Amino acid sequence: MRTRRIGAAALAGGLLALPFAGCAEAQGASQENIAARVRRAPDGEVRMHFTSRPGVCGSVDGRNVSIRDRRRGGTIMHRGNWSDYREDRDCIEGPTHVRLLVRGGRVADVSTRVAHGWGDEDAGRVTDLGRVGAREAADYLLDLAERSDDAGKEAIFPATLADSVVTWPRLLRIARSSAAAQEARKSAVFWLSQQAGDQVTRGISDLVDDDDQDRDVREAAVFALSQRPRDESVPALIRIARTHRDPHIRKTALFWLGQSRDPRAIELFEEILSQ
């Protein structure tokens, strides 16, 4: 396997890079942006890694990811198959590793691991960008999600893992964008549902009410609302079930209200059945 290392530390070489390790992100910001470096890369893989936000950890091989949020009562999201691991022991905090499959200067696929990258396990041409700034990486990945038909859907997940980056405004923009692929828009809506804050719930609720959006996107937004905390989700779903113009969207809201087992939902069902 032939590997090109373009990162600042690699160019500095060996031990000379060690005193400057803490400045890696600042150095990266002054270099070419990620999009330009990816465009210049030969066909094959482009790899990079960046600091993960608190609560993100990966299995010992990096393939499975867990996201924890103490404010929301522990683990809120698993990605992958944890059946062969003990999460309390085998979930390792570390950087987010991203692998881009590049063909003709365009990204055809995006893969993500946490704490453990790919090493030399896969054959092929590899361009390693090394460590990049978390904000720069998130911006690049969300730009990719908004404009790429091929890789947009998978670019969103790693962007949400970047440290100290508020992604929900961009996710909401992608969800509303007619230029983005439908699967990317639905993925943006889903990851919006995992963000904290009243603004997110309002944004998703507005998306449901937007007649200019595809029904599939609005339906995904109803599901996203159902994933919010009950004090936010149940009133919003009840409003949609009562007033939305699209019978299919009202039915979807009623379905997710049923899954909530909330007393307010039961009262609504009783009211509807009594009419």
Which of 107, 138, 165 delimits the end of a domain? Answer: 165
Band of residue 100 on the pLDDT scale cut at 50, 70, 90 = very high
Q: What percentage of the chain carries pLDDT values higher than 70?
A: 83
From 128, 127, 193, 125, select the one nearest 160 (Cα to Cα). Answer: 193
- Note the pLDDT tens digit of each residue in 173-199: 999 898 899 999 999 998 988 876 778
Residues 202 and 107 in one domain: no
Query: Based on the structure, what is the number of domains in the chain?
Result: 2
Residues 74 and 184 in one domain: no
Residues 75 and 30 in one domain: yes
Q: In whole angstroms, what is the distance from residue 263 CA to residue 247 CA?
A: 23
Residues 151 and 172 in one domain: no
Q: In whole angstroms, what is the distance from residue 57 CA to residue 200 CA?
A: 24
Residues 5 and 109 in one domain: yes
Residues 1 and 79 in one domain: yes
From 167, 185, 183, 166, select the one nearest 175 (Cα to Cα). Answer: 185
Which of 165, 198, 229 delimits the end of a domain? Answer: 165
**What SS3 state is found at 176?**
helix
User: Can you give the pLDDT at residue 178?
Assistant: 86
From 218, 204, 205, select the one nearest 246 (Cα to Cα). Answer: 218
φ, ψ at 217 (rounded to 5°): -70, -40
Greater confidence, 233 or 49? 49
Which of 111, 144, 165 delimits the end of a domain? Answer: 165
Tell me: pLDDT of 24 over 80.
no
Quote the mean pLDDT of the chain. 83
User: Can you give the pLDDT at residue 23?
Assistant: 44
Tell me: pLDDT of 64 over 60.
yes
**Mean pLDDT for the stretch of residues 112-124:** 82
Tell me: pLDDT of 8 over 90.
no
Residues 128 and 64 in one domain: yes
**Mean pLDDT for the stretch of residues 9-20:** 36
**Residue 250: enclosing H or E segment and its boundaries?**
helix 247-260
**Mean pLDDT for the stretch of residues 27-51:** 84
Q: Which domain holds residue 268?
A: 166-275
Dig out the tokens for 144 from the structure.
């990719």
**Total number of residues shown for the chain:** 275
**Mean pLDDT for the stretch of residues 113-126:** 82
From 201, 246, 243, select the one nearest 224 (Cα to Cα). Answer: 201
Tell me: pLDDT of 138 over 50.
yes
Residues 161 and 177 in one domain: no
From 183, 193, 265, select the one nearest 222 (Cα to Cα). Answer: 193
Residues 182 and 141 in one domain: no
